[in-house]
Amino acid sequence: MDTVAIIVLDGIGFASWLFLISAGITFVFGVLRILNVAHGSIFALGAYMGAWLAAWFLGGQYPAWLSFPILIVAAVLVAVTVGPFIERVFLKRIYQEEEVIPLLTTFALFLILEDVVRLVWGIEPLFVDKPFSIMGQVRLAGISYAGYPFLLTGIAVLCAILLWLVINRTYFGRQVTSVIGDREISSAMGINVPRIDTFAFILGSFLAALGGAFTAPMISVEPGMGIEVIVFAFAVVGIGGLGSVGGAAIGCLLVGIARAAAVHLYPELELFVIYALMVFVLILRPQGFFGGIEVRRI
């Protein structure tokens, strides 16, 4: 029983982290129809900004728990500076082009941002483990467990709820739903699609940066963080369906549990299961669980 409990807890923890890194990219795809490779770099920017601000903040005499809101602030800062810039200057010009172009553009931006991070913060790793350690330990099912992953789960659930509320209960959300359904008709109905695009991208960037900021206390923040994150996000999004946040949630849970099971039962397969799942789902149901995209399959 112990093993199952650990696997489930581990799985949920990893799934929560995965959700934070993938909700944004799938949401942006739903609205703009662009798969944003630079999502990984925005994640990294969030991590760096979060670590840097938190370290600076914690150096003062403020209570440690305030570092959490600081992380959120860091994510917001990244989202409102980098987000509009990328979307207006680059994405607006290429969103109509055939599929390769947006992918390559965001890849180019990814390369650029990777070096921007290096130039601004240097290549030495940043450590901010205070937020992690103050969450302490939790005893569950007879095992001593780190408290921080539970915070992540809480944040992931909070994000999911907030996202749902925004989409289904606000005017902005209804416009977004319309744009996701059909851009041209939305435009014809008077919706300012370019503005929705920008806001959606900022929201997606915020989610990425938030994921990064809250990842910072768990690991050492160093160059190249975004590289592995982006391919995990791709895997989850492929499983859950491009454009579907609900699908991403399911994908995260599947991948989380699968990976946790592998880690505890067959460690060599830890990474393998993630991509094997991706292949499995893409073959059986190419549009993922809830993807609404027409699959050109002959």
Partner 1 sequence: MMAGILLFITAPLLLSNWIIFVLAIALAKGIVVLGVVLLLRGGLISLGHGLYYAAGAYAVAFALNRWNIREALFLIPLSLLAGGGMAALTGLLLKRYRGIFFAMLSLAFSMILYTVLFKFYDVTGGTDGMRIPPVTILGIHPATENLRLFYYYLALILTIGVLYLGRRFTASPLGYLMQAVRYNEIRVEYMGTSVGRAIYFSYVFSGALGGLGGGLVAFNVGHVAPELAYWTASADFVFVAVLGGAGNVFAPFLGSIVFEFVKNYAFKFSPHTWQMTLGGILLLIIFFLPQGVWSLNEVIKRKVIQWQLSLKQ
Binding site for partner 1 (CB under 8 A): 35, 90, 93-94, 99-101, 103-105, 107-112, 114-116, 118-119, 123, 227, 230-231, 234-235, 238, 242, 267-272, 274-276, 278-279, 282-283, 286-287, 293, 295-298
Q: Which is nearer to partner 1, 56 or 272 (CB)?
A: 272
Q: What residues pair up with 126 in beta bridges, in sequence order?
A: 221
In the complex, the smallest distance separating the C-beta of residue 221 from partner 1, rounded to whole angstroms, is 16
Q: Which is nearer to partner 1, 97 or 164 (CB)?
A: 97
For 95, which DSSP code?
T
Q: Which is nearer to partner 1, 275 or 289 (CB)?
A: 275
Place of tokens 């799942």: 277
In the complex, the smallest distance separating the C-beta of residue 93 from partner 1, rounded to whole angstroms, is 7
62 three-state secondary structure: coil
64/79 Cα distance (integer angstroms): 24
Q: Which is nearer to partner 1, 2 or 268 (CB)?
A: 268
In the complex, the smallest distance separating the C-beta of residue 112 from partner 1, rounded to whole angstroms, is 4
Q: Which is nearer to partner 1, 20 or 86 (CB)?
A: 86
15 three-state secondary structure: helix
Q: Which is nearer to partner 1, 22 or 287 (CB)?
A: 287
Q: Are 221 and 126 in contact (CB under 8 A)?
A: yes
In the complex, the smallest distance separating the C-beta of residue 297 from partner 1, rounded to whole angstroms, is 5
In the complex, the smallest distance separating the C-beta of residue 222 from partner 1, rounded to whole angstroms, is 13
Q: Which is nearer to partner 1, 124 or 147 (CB)?
A: 124
In the complex, the smallest distance separating the C-beta of residue 28 from partner 1, rounded to whole angstroms, is 14
Q: Are 53 and 85 in contact (CB under 8 A)?
A: no
255/227 Cα distance (integer angstroms): 18
Q: Comparing C-alpha atoms, which of 207, 212, 239, 198 is closest to residue 85? A: 198
Contacts 24+ apart (CB under 8 A), 50-54: 50/74, 50/75, 50/128, 50/209, 50/212, 50/213, 50/214, 50/216, 51/126, 51/127, 51/128, 51/213, 51/216, 51/217, 51/221, 52/121, 52/126, 54/128, 54/130, 54/131, 54/216, 54/217
For residue 35 the two structure tokens come to 């798969």
For residue 71 the two structure tokens come to 């992380």
In the complex, the smallest distance separating the C-beta of residue 26 from partner 1, rounded to whole angstroms, is 12
